[in-house]
Amino acid sequence: MGASVVAALLDVLQFQNILASFIGVLFGLFIGSTPGLTISLGMVLLLPITFKLEAVTSICLLLGLYASGMTGGSLSAILLNIPGTPSASATAIDGHAMAQKGRAGEALGVAVSSSFFGGIFGLTCLVLASPVIARVALRFGAPELFSIVLLGLTLICSFGQQSVIKGLISGVIGLIIMTVGLDPMMGSPRFTFGQVELQAGISFLPAMIGLFAVPQILLGIAGKTKVFPEYKEKVSGVLPKIGNLFKMLKTMLLGSLIGTGVGAIPGAGGPIAVFLSYDYARRISKKSGNYGQGEPEGIAAPESANNAVAGGALIPMLTLGIPGDPITAILLGALMIHGLIPGPLLFQQSQQFVYSVFWAYLIANLMNLIVTFSTIKLWVRVLKVPQRVLLPIIVILCIVGTYALRNTFFDTGVMFCFGLLGYFMMKFGFPVIPLLLAIILGPNLEEHLRMSLIISQGDYLIFFTHPIALTFIIISVFSFFGPLVVPLWKNRKGAARSEN
Amino acid sequence: MKRANIIASIVIVLFTVFYGYLTSQLPSRNLPNTLGSAFMPWLLATLLFGLSVCLLITNAFRGTRENSNANISLKEGFSVVFLTVFVYFYVKAIQLFGFIAITPFFLAALMWISGARKWKEIVILSIASTLGIYLFFQKVFKVILPHGTLF
């Protein structure tokens, strides 16, 4: 085993593999930070190149893209409040708030450091505990997936800070929007008004770009408001102090744990992980009041989760040959092109290659850290572009980005409709994060609920007889009622104290 | 915010009624032992109705603790409508004339609306940005941008 580990390391450290990792990281940063371009698209574009490369070089290239694509999504989220990937939407909350206070460099520094931490944590779990995690993750059937989606949805309450009712309304509207399209069980159209494009449902990428970018464009161009912070002075504080990072260790650990766990569950998805980690980090933090107003911990939690998801998602792919999301499905395909079939046999027949994957992922994370840190000042320069130039370019990028998703302007229309909805929601004080959460999680909720009932022949007890599902349902109940009950309890306690 | 909340809740109630009507038109055929197509929409319509009525009642009788104001000036409202229509025509124009031909004009117009007044800056940046985006998407990422009748 020791010889295989060393041989795999030496293999990965060859010049062409390091170069492949570097190219993958650069490509991923661009893909991730451009609204509308997805990591899966980047992988698909690189896939034909890998036909001619060796298996280890291919995996270095693709893992480089995977690791940095996640970080790239956060760059645009922090600087422009336009998340490049759905998983970066939680980072935008505190990241952009910090950028608006002139702390963009520091926000990016925290994002990159915690991404690295999450990536390494995910890798450690992949190396040390993959068989155990994979076994637990495989026990997730429809009832368990329903309960974890339900848990994700209970976070809606936490994001309705000014008014819980408005947060809930926003979430329910999001769920209603996701009922548009074909019925997941029967395949009959619902609320499609005869439009073929609506039969596939509302894609969440145009919705996300619309909700985040268009209100800013409208405020900036139509309302003549300053929507981007001006960056005239030198960018400083990019490299976070060790002491500050140490203070965020608990937050990063929590985010990484949630990220790896959720990532390992096939079909659960990164957005659940980032919102769960953001919410739980806020709940355990002493600075919970600062969340949403530019708190570095609010970046560290979702960012560490975001990159830990990648490590987590590799666990079922490598150990069982089950891809949890489109990205790992493409990775699986890339391995199969080279005659490597992921699954239990891969660990026996191609042990050295498995170690090469581990090393390649470590190199990808290190490369991501180095490349992103050394280019942060370049990224922040985006904010030096005057708003009168930047906003029109963002308009074009959003239009082309949404068009690129399915080569149709229908998605561009969807983006603009969501943009107008987001604009009016912002003006009327409705939070958009619950809407986004519901859009991301909504389709899975209904599908897993109905699938579970088919399995149980209509018996609702299925959710209470499966221990994992029951655990998540109990946590969901606490998670939902917590934000409603705790303030009332604190008020009562405060009143009792003042009476005494 | 109190008035804005009352208006918003009335709009949402009206939307819920419309959504409920559409839900009632859904087909009733279903697989055995599971919920029908209309179950989730009915559940959501009921929830939304209840929540919007709650918002209406609390604001009408108790007021709100929210400290922000929902102010959209007439000028801003007009600008939002104008910008939406402008983008709509741009998207239609792309399909007619192609991305390369129409985007520099659209960008230049948007820059002017956004406050840019130096014509050299407007011309150079609008052409350079169009070419940059075209090369980035079409050549690097192989996204086929729409070709019109001219290009």
A429–B137: do the CB atoms touch at under 8 Å?
A: no
Question: Testing the interface with B: which of A188, A387, A403, A430 to mutate, by most B Cβ within 10 A?
Answer: A403
Pick the closest to residue A206 from A19, A424, A436 (CA basis).
Answer: A436
ipTM of the complex: 0.89
3-state secondary structure of A467: helix
Calculate ∠ Cα A324-A327-A330, nearest 5°.
Answer: 100
Burial class (CB in 10 A: 0-12, 13-18, 19+), A266: buried
Q: Chain B partners of A428 at a C-beta cutoff of 8 Å?
A: 4-5, 7-8, 70
Model pLDDT, residue A227: 66
* B13 has a chain A CB within 8 A of its CB: no
Which residues of chain B from 14 to 73 reach within 8 Å of chain A, CB to CB? 19, 22, 26-27, 29-35, 37, 40-41, 44-45, 47-48, 51-52, 54-55, 58, 64-66, 68, 70-72
Residues of chain A with pLDDT under 50: none
| Residue A487 confidence (pLDDT) | 66
Using CA atoms, how far apart are residues A70 and A88, in angstroms rounded to an integer? 8
% chain B with pLDDT above 70: 87
Q: Which of A122-136, A246-260, B85-99, B127-141 has the lowest mean pLDDT?
A: A122-136
The verdict on B121 touching A (C-beta cutoff 8 Å) is: yes
The pTM assigned to this predicted structure is 0.79
User: What are the φ and ψ backbone dihedral angles of A202, each rounded to 5 degrees?
Assistant: -90, 120
Q: What is the predicted pLDDT for the residue at B85?
A: 92
Which tens digits make up the pLDDT trace of B24-59? 988 876 667 667 888 889 999 999 999 999 988 888
Distance of CA A255 to the CA centre of its chain: 12
Give pLDDT, residue B149: 67
Q: Does B5 contact A429 at a Cβ distance shorter than 8 Å? A: yes
Of A173, A222, A393, the CB nearest to B83: A222
Q: Are A217 and A394 in contact (CB under 8 A)?
A: yes
Q: Which of B51, B94, B99 sits opposite A165 (nearest CB)?
A: B51
Mutate one of B143, B144, B145 to test the A interface: name it (highest A CB count within 10 A). Answer: B143
> What b/e readout covers A236-246, taking b as 16+ CB neighbours within 10 angstroms?
eebebeeeebe
b or e along A180-217 (b: 16 or more beta carbons within 10 Å of the residue's beta carbon)?
Answer: bbbbbbbeebbbbeeeebbeebbbbbbbbbbbbbbbbb
Contact between residue A297 and residue A111 where contact means Cβ atoms under 8 Å apart: no
Q: Is the Cβ of B86 closer than 8 Å to some Cβ of chain A?
A: no
At B107, is the pLDDT very low, low, confident or very high (cuts 50, 70, 90)? very high
Measure the CA–CA gap between B61 and B45, rounded to whole angstroms.
Answer: 24
Residues of B in contact with A39 (CB under 8 A): none
The span from the CA of A108 to the CA of A229, in Å, is 14
Of the candidates A205, A172, A165, the one whose C-alpha atom is nearest the C-alpha of residue A31 is: A205
Residue B63: helix, strand or coil by DSSP? coil
Q: Which residues, in sequence order, are CB contacts of A242 under 8 Å at separation 6+? A: none
Q: What are the structure tokens assigned to A233, written together? A: 């002075």
Distance from CA of A323 to the nearest CA of B (A): 24
